[in-house]
Amino acid sequence: MHWFYDTRRQVIFISILYLVVSAFQYHQYGVKVVNDSARYIEYATGLHQGPYFDPHNFWYIGYALYLFGVQLVGGSAEIIVAGQYTLGLLAVIALFFTSLTIWKNNLAAVFTAVAFIFFIDIGQWHSYVLAESIYTSFICFSLFLLSKLYGGRKSAVWYILTALVVLYTGFSKPTGVALPGALLFVVLRYAPGRLKSRLLQNSIRIAATLIFLLLVNRMLTTYLVMENYRLGEVIYAIRLLPSTPGYETMIITPPDSPYLPPPGMPPLLKIVSFILHHPLYWMQLFFTKVFFLLAHVRPYWSVTHNLYATLLLLPAYFLFVKGIRSEKLNPVSVFALAYVAIQILGVGITSEDWDGRFIAPILPVVFLYSGKGIASYFRK
């Protein structure tokens, strides 16, 4: 098996594997234009008249720009999906080389890429005219560029390219804030320490944190978070479908007279004030959402699907923890923990989605450390 440790052969192997799995997925799903597709396409079409601000869709402008580019060469849903599958292949290769750059272990890199391919609930989004595919692929591209910076590539061009890709990724979906947020956390953790003035260190940390919170607050203005709390929905809009199997597991009974903050209060303050008034209810709602997010199971999905997700994700989470614990905290592990935590907080504070799409952007980072964890059991 020593031949398999050749990097070129490994890239060929994961590319073929991706193409085989993608062919199966395309056969299953084809091209999916769904409810949310229309607003992305409409926003992209409007960009042909010039840039404009849409309060909600602005947070998807990365995906709108992708659609804008596709519209320049035809704009059909088939071309959109073909592009997403193509970028998905490049994303898998980027994730492979990210692992190889950070861990310098071919087995870890192969495991990371194979796990990413085999968790088919990631790849299925390439068939949908939705932001998830581009967002997840650009998470992988961002990780690759950042890993090269961490590995020593310090040219100005690389810094600019990395900044542009991270910025694009951050505005591909509202939860894209997790990527710059995690990077900010790393910078605040390590960079100010190089300054001699403690006052200057703390001032930079406070200013950067406030800017990040203001950005998050602005993003939350487009979401009906308080409505979700009032209804006790774990899965968004589940109350509209009371006949859904397992409906009662996806609803938390709200307080008889829930506190509702004043309409003009900033969203983050609304959330904090609601938590202070109903801490136990909020925690129950929060952790139930997090369970459905990370377990990636649903009462209305098949037993086979739920079992498949459990058998793949539970070992991945275990290996992720093992990989994190195998080293002292450093910029890579701090970034990974911050990124996963922000993604989890984003769902726990707002709502989990019907189709489980919010797990996809978390898994590239999880699988990176899972690869390291499993490689520790083997010797080359």
Q: Which residue reads 């203005």 in tokens?
A: 221
Residue ending a domain, choose from 173, 201, 234 = 173
Same domain, yes or no: 332 and 190: yes
Domain with 94, as residue range(s), is 1-173
Q: Are 178 and 360 in contact (CB under 8 A)?
A: no
- Report the number of distinct structural domains present in the chain: 2
**368 occurs within a structural domain:** no
Same domain, yes or no: 154 and 189: no
**375 occurs within a structural domain:** no
> What pLDDT score does 88 carry?
98
Same domain, yes or no: 114 and 259: no
Q: Cβ atoms within 10 A of the Cβ of 275, count? A: 15
Band of pLDDT at residue 345, cut at 50, 70 and 90: very high
Band of pLDDT at residue 1, cut at 50, 70 and 90: low
pLDDT tens, position by position, 99-141 = 999 999 999 999 999 999 999 999 999 999 999 999 999 999 9
Nearest to 60 by CA among 185, 238, 222, 214: 222
Same domain, yes or no: 160 and 18: yes
| Residue 67: C-alpha distances to residues 40, 46, 87 (Å) | 8, 11, 13
In whole angstroms, give the CA distance from residue 353 to residue 362. 14
In whole angstroms, give the CA distance from residue 150 to residue 336. 14
Q: Helix and strand tally (H, E) in the chain?
A: 16, 0
**372 occurs within a structural domain:** no
In whole angstroms, give the CA distance from residue 286 to residue 351. 9
251: β partners: 233
Same domain, yes or no: 225 and 291: yes
> What pLDDT score does 210 carry?
86
Its pTM stands at: 0.94
**97 occurs within a structural domain:** yes
> What pLDDT score does 372 carry?
95
Same domain, yes or no: 215 and 159: no
Nearest to 182 by CA among 364, 336, 350, 345: 336
Same domain, yes or no: 135 and 154: yes
| Residue 309: C-alpha distances to residues 76, 304, 348, 379 (Å) | 33, 9, 20, 28
Same domain, yes or no: 125 and 184: no
pLDDT tens, position by position, 166-208 = 999 999 998 899 999 999 889 888 876 666 667 777 777 788 7
Same domain, yes or no: 242 and 302: yes
pLDDT tens, position by position, 197-255 = 677 777 777 887 888 888 888 888 777 899 999 999 999 989 988 999 999 999 999 99
